[in-house]
A = this chain, B = another copy of it.
């Protein structure tokens, strides 16, 4: 028990310079000296557990959060009391970028599995970006990348159910690969409900398509464990070349 505690604290306190995410996260392309300046403002909190909320809708925006380990989902309350899943967040990804403008969080961030998270106070980060040009560029790229990803998701909304699920799986695959994990064999920390909600599909539809993909030997599924057998075929599907329902609306 005491050993577990020590490990946990060690994990918590790992500095940016020795963090395995340093090539993905904010320190990317910073010189050691600047990494240290960044470290000075980063706050490490104790690990959060499944179901914990990182922040709530309405909370005042003060910090960006970076996932160090684990995963989260963000969601907005929907009018009827349900929730709308806005995205999933993997290690190295920054949460809260949408709140900079509004000064207030308008969504919830919930932990899907035990996760450790770095807190980066935004005001101090902004001050730092003014004196570290490469950090400023990194911030602009980060924000821009988020816009690009959102745009991709926006396009998804116009595709068929099969295309959406294929695109979702490929997106996860690529994001995991960037983190040094297998792009073809991984664990989904979110439920089918959450996937369906995220993609705008009914749970049943998600389930049916998973089995359809499995029947077609595109992948193997066993509960939350996914194995992708044919990335190319999935890519083709996701692109919408499926011949059915050509949504090519020229204007």
Contact = CB atoms under 8 A, between A and B. Distances in A.
Interface residues of A, number: 60
A239 to B, nearest CB: 5
Interface in A132-179: 133, 136-137, 139-148, 150-151, 153-158
A197 interface: yes
A234 interface: no
Contacts of A144: 97-102, 143
A5 interface: no
Interface of A: 76, 78-86, 97-102, 106-107, 126, 129-131, 133, 136-137, 139-148, 150-151, 153-158, 191, 193-194, 196-197, 200, 202-203, 239-241, 246-251
Given A84-B158, A101-B144, A143-B144, 11 more contacts: A76-B155, A82-B247, A84-B155, A98-B147, A102-B148, A126-B136, A126-B137, A136-B136, A150-B151, A150-B153, A193-B250
Q: Which of A101, A249, A250 gathers most chain B CB within 10 Å?
A: A249
Contacts of A83: 249-251
A193 B249 contact: yes
Given A151-B98, A154-B153, A251-B191, A240 B80 contact: yes
Main secondary structure of the interface of A (DSSP, over half): helix
A156 B191 CA distance: 22
B194 A101 contact: no
A140 B138 CA distance: 12
A251 B147 contact: no
Q: Which 3 A-B pairs have the closest CB atoms?
A: A157-B157, A82-B248, A150-B150
Given A106-B148, A193-B251, A200 B130 contact: no
